[in-house]
Structure 1
């Protein structure tokens, strides 16, 4: 089935912004999307992966490794000529075992030749792409912990059954779920870079436009994709230029103080809030082609960078997003 064009997705602006930020700076730490069913969570993630240009990888590398990967991991990244591959998009099913996720002993090879070999798992397949987990709040905690560790380090280390394998595993982790079906542990949720809330649109015109576009895509996917290709091309150019501009962007002392003050006022746990807030603000500024990171960029990403890091206040039962917006209004007007 043809992917739905990213630029054709109606509304859900915060979710699309978070995904674009993660595409510009994969080190942001992944995106957690909580919200109602049928609100385009997986559609948006797949659309972004399909939008990105193909990666260049060695033909014989089971990990989709780049030239740099082959030099750094010569034991696992096979050589061969370089070929273009689509950006990986891997679904991790809820029932997946740890062996399927991280990889395991290649039993067929062991039985056939008596040699120990490694069978790459889903983490290897997701290298240089996206790993998507629907209903991540229902996934076993030890697997979520493992995934977050690998996503942060960029490599997977497997030591079991006499095997010792280290291979690259750099990917953007995207989790989605419905809060009504169970909460994600706060210490795990905190390690996601951005957290986004999506809701079913309540505007009549928005719901009608969604139905119209879905019907057009189902009737003629090729024609619909061609119609939105120019807009997708603009987004792709925006991502590419943003990634190049990212390293040169810096925030002023005033913006850094603003970020720290906001985190203090809302009661964000630890220092990960400030660090992620400024990293996301920098990526947004790069996307927008700005020359410096401004307070406006920091404010724009504050809810998604901080809402999942707030301490519970027994005297204030308002939601995290409301508390953040209220603090922004008090501090900056």
Structure 2
């Protein structure tokens, strides 16, 4: 008898997909306790910054009939202005009058204008910048007319010189201001940044996709440095020592493997399935992936596991 060739599909192999979903834990904990729990049993506290994320939160909350606030992974990371170079504190500043330097809704970076005054702007804006060359002959400040985001300017300064410029006193501020006038530029990045909110799983904060609830963040108690989420998916800030339920993110890796099985006669499906499961579990064990992993069969539209692709 001429062999028959069958194809079957099981989870684990040629095609890798990472699936994320949210888990609601209704036992109240502080933000730090909640983060530790999520890292131990799942992945991390939930990162919520897209319409899809908010819809998933709504689904999980509705299924649990949950209508309350719960911790998620946003936290107040760096809440003072600092210099890029050696992460220094500000011993000198020259902010413009009435300049808003305390925004709690997005990451802000500092620039100097040709008035000599410092201003804030979104770090994603494209601007020329000053690099710090160090105390060498020819001056310590290097102006670069290329318009880059603050982060890209920082990378270039660190690659070519030392870092973005630090301004330590009024004489250095005047020197930078004079350079701006000489090159006929109105403003440029300096090494100031204030990165307020971060995700606990180290995801990049995409500010255009973050949705705050009305009136949030308000820092009502003066020490609200952790983020919570409503059942609607909208977020706010609260004191980290308060105890709330919380959302964790769980990540599941799914791998699909295609097998071609040749049979010289009648195909005993159960025997083949048992043999393949044994082999796949051995592969999982060899790759140290056996903990929490399992083999699942994909059923074809006709209700069969195996598909007969060739028969003579």
Smaller-chain TM-score range?
under 0.3
Higher helix share: 1
Q: Specify which structure has the bigger relative contact order, considering alpha-carbon pairs within 8 angstroms and separated by 6 or more residues.
A: 2
TM-score of the superposed pair, with normalisation by structure 1: 0.23
Task: Determine which structure has more spread, i.e. the larger CA radius of gyration.
Answer: 2
Q: Give TM-score scaled by structure 2 length.
A: 0.24
Higher strand share: 2
